[in-house]
């Protein structure tokens, strides 16, 4: 795929670093979201935002103002992501690799270190400069985990076209110029991408607003069921076709009974083992789960991103990566004693 690059002309007087930061800091958060949509990883997205701003600073003397500064930065960021994707695999969830495991009491396969997994996006990283609720909604558009997972299954060009056209609202001619292809090719790629997305994630582009009182109560009951190892209570909170995914494990489960049976057999074996801390990821409710060790310390265990439908939990993606806690601004360890961060007791 042909891509354009931003040259470093080495001429023309540009702003110093502080002046440039004043010009561009307002776009940093949305550029991070854009790169995350492209790459499926917060760390990779942060790397490409840094690369974008460095390239933009070096080549600012060639910026002629034919487009807005925001559009110019998005062009550089998109090209940076396209270059990065030449060296990286797609980032799937387990459900994107195969059928669910239908034996929740049987052995499950080991982690798959060869797979580069999709990562959640902490909403705390969304820092819109405007307090306008519309700006917050726009920043979160297209961030739902199912949407990001579906984007990762698209070929690179289709993914790029869909994000630029349907999320950012670019015209086909602008996308064609950026990618070095015809408008016809852009429109064709967009239609194929939309069709595939509709088949794989028909509701994935819905924006999740902050949960209301009923949703918060549901999340609280779900967290309490985990902390108390109350499998019966947890099963009652699950939708009948609920799913459970646990990257880096490739096995996943579908169905209220299967999910409950697996958790009851393999995970929720005694009360007091887990502590659940509320979080938000991808515009969805999430829980950071700490696990009690033999020395009594509660150490980072996983981040669960929840999908709610009606009054039930429809999807659970438990990212078994303690390294994610830092991105959520959470410590890797809680003290052995102290208040429960959910109940306050």
pLDDT tens digits for range 173-230: 999 999 999 999 999 999 999 999 888 765 544 444 556 788 999 999 999 999 999 9
The CATH code of domain 213-334 reads 3.10.450.50
Cα separation of 223 and 287, whole Å? 8
Mean per-residue pLDDT, 269-277 = 96
pLDDT band at 113 (very low <50, low <70, confident <90, very high): confident
User: Which pairing describes strands 252-254 and 238-245: parallel, antiparallel, or unpaired?
Assistant: antiparallel
Higher pLDDT, 99 or 209: 99
Cα separation of 168 and 174, whole Å? 11
Least confident of 25-29, 33-37, 323-327: 25-29
Class of domain 1-88: mainly alpha
Per-residue pLDDT tens over the stretch 295-317? 889 999 999 999 999 899 999 99
Tokens 């947890």: give the residue.
234
**Mutual orientation of helices 183-200 and 172-179 as an angle, nearest 10°?**
100
The pLDDT score that the predictor gives to residue 203 is 59
Kindly provide the residue ranges of all beta strands, DSSP E only, lying in the chain, ordered along the sequence.
238-245, 252-254, 274-281, 284-292, 298-309, 312-319, 333-334
Residue 297: both structure tokens together: 């310390």
pLDDT of 10 over the 80 cut: no
Which residues does 58 contact at the CB level (< 8 Å), separation at least 6?
8, 14
Domain ranges of the chain: 1-88, 213-334
Tokens 């909604």: give the residue.
137
pLDDT band at 126 (very low <50, low <70, confident <90, very high): confident
Residue 170: both structure tokens together: 């670019």
Q: What is the distance, to the nearest Å, from the Cα of residue 279 to the centroid of all Cα atoms in its chain?
A: 13
Residue 333 parent element (H or E): strand 333-334
Count other Cβ atoms within 10 Å, centred on residue 120. Answer: 27
pLDDT band at 2 (very low <50, low <70, confident <90, very high): very low
Residue 240 parent element (H or E): strand 238-245
**C-alpha to C-alpha distances, 36 to 47, 169, 194, 292, nearest whole angstrom:** 10, 17, 19, 32
Q: pTM of the predicted model, to two decimals?
A: 0.87
């Amino acid at each position: 795929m042909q891509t354009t690059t931003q040259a470093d002309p080495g001429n023309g007087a540009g702003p110093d670093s502080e002046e440039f930061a004043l010009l561009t800091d307002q776009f940093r958060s949305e550029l991070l979201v854009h790169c995350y949509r492209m790459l499926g990883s917060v760390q990779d997205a942060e790397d490409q935002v840094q690369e974008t701003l460095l390239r933009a600073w070096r080549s600012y003397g060639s910026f002629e103002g034919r487009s807005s500064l925001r559009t110019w930065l998005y062009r550089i960021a998109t090209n940076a992501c396209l270059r990065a994707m030449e060296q990286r695999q797609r980032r799937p969830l387990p459900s994107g690799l195969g059928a669910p495991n239908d034996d929740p009491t049987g052995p499950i396969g080991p982690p798959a270190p060869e797979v580069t997994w999709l990562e959640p996006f902490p909403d705390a990283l969304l820092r819109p400069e405007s307090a306008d609720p519309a700006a917050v909604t726009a920043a979160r558009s297209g961030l739902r985990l199912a949407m990001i997972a579906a984007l990762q299954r698209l070929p690179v060009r289709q993914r790029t076209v869909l994000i630029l056209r349907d999320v950012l609202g670019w015209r086909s001619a602008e996308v064609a110029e950026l990618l070095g292809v015809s408008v016809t090719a852009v429109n064709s790629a967009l239609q194929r991408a939309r069709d595939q997305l509709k088949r794989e994630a028909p509701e994935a582009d819905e924006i999740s607003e902050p949960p209301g009182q009923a949703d918060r109560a549901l999340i609280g009951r779900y967290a309490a069921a985990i902390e108390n190892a109350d499998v019966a209570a947890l099963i009652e909170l699950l939708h009948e076709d609920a799913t459970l995914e646990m990257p880096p494990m490739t096995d996943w489960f579908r169905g209220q009974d299967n999910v409950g049976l697996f958790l009851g057999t393999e995970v929720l074996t005694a009360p007091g083992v887990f502590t659940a801390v509320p979080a938000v990821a991808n515009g969805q409710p999430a829980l950071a789960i700490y696990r009690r060790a033999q020395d009594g310390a509660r150490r980072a265990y996983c981040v669960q991103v929840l999908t709610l439908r009606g009054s039930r939990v429809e999807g659970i993606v438990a990212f078994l990566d303690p390294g994610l806690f830092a991105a959520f601004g959470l410590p890797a360890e809680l003290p052995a004693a102290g208040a429960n961060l959910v109940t306050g007791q």
